[in-house]
Amino acid sequence: MRDQKSASVRSTVAILFAGLFASATASAQSISIAPPGQVSRGQAMPTTPPMVVVARQPELRGNLGGGFIEYLFGDQSRPRAELPPRIYSDPSHDTQRYANTQPTVGPMLEPQGTAIDPQFLRQQVDYQGSEEPGTIVIDTPNHFLYLVEPGGKAMRYGIGVGRPGFTWSGVHSVSSMKEWPDWVPPKEMLQRQPYLPHHMAGGPNNPLGARALYLGSTLYRIHGSNEPWTIGRNVSSGCIRMRNADVIDLYGRVKIGTKVVVL
């Protein structure tokens, strides 16, 4: 009798274990692990709302053309990282590498694609004035500079001149000549525009451009420009600005002591 009960208990236990094993196996077969970022079949979609990132809209501002005019009259609150790169006074900056630049219109002398009014391109013209050959004559109202040549001819260049209130006239002579000159704003200019740098090393981003002819003891110069689109306009503080290729050409034709007549 006892043996029959033991056998019955063992049979019941075996059946229970078999049932548990079958249930575990079925559960294991119904579970699947989805790769990261995927949802398993039958699994509910996550209810967490997606994160929305709103991109910062670009600031609307007028296009001042870049270069030095952008620096002077642009928004001074604009982050410096967005300002066009410029060369400032740096002891390690080797300005001599520009000294022997040939008078050709390359990217360093003038931005590519710059449109110039044909009348302001360098050209030989007839000259009927009274000045001797070798004299520089500056026709301020018409934005021309003439270098008088023998035989009733002159080489004519387009120029930019002083804005209203900054034009002048007189007779001077070239007192100094410099290649890729540094720029030091006079104190009068710094008083008007205190945000200007006190010194800017020579180079293609310098507002004095590739060459400068200094006139007597004045603060005025005939110089190149990194803004050739201003030729033919009244834009400066009194200096005579030229295209870089033109001022290099003029620089090679004149010398210290050259007479300069400003009309």
Tens of pLDDT, residue by residue over 234-248, are 999 899 999 999 999
d(CA 167, CA 146): 18
* Structure confidence at residue 70 (pLDDT): 39
Quick check: 141 and 169 in contact, CB under 8 A? no
Nearest-5° Cα angle at 183, 146 to 143: 25
Residues 6 or more apart whose Cβ sits within 8 Å of residue 20:
none
- Identity of the highest mean pLDDT range in 91-95, 108-112, 138-142: 138-142
pTM: 0.59
Nearest-5° Cα angle at 227, 72 to 144: 115
Residue 16 pLDDT grade (very low, low, confident, very high; cuts 50, 70, 90): low
Whether 143 is catalytic is no
Residues 6 or more apart whose Cβ sits within 8 Å of residue 150:
133
d(CA 19, CA 119): 103
188-202 CB burial, b ≥16 within 10 A, e <16: eeeeeeeebeeebbb
For the chain, where are the alpha helices, taking DSSP H only? Answer: 2-30, 67-73, 187-192, 244-251
**Which CATH architecture best describes the domain 98-262?**
Beta Barrel (2.40)
Of the residues 93, 143, 199, 239, only one is catalytic, namely: 239
Token couple for 48: 């967490």
Of the residues 143, 172, 199, 223, only one is catalytic, namely: 223
* Structure confidence at residue 136 (pLDDT): 99
Give pLDDT tens digits for 26-72.
Answer: 444 433 334 444 444 445 544 444 443 333 333 333 333 334 443 44
Backbone φ and ψ for 190, nearest 5 degrees, come out as -65, -30
d(CA 91, CA 217): 28
Give pLDDT tens digits for 109-137.
Answer: 776 667 889 999 999 999 999 999 999 99
Whether 172 is catalytic is no
Token couple for 203: 């180079």
* Structure confidence at residue 19 (pLDDT): 52
DSSP 55: P
d(CA 64, CA 28): 71
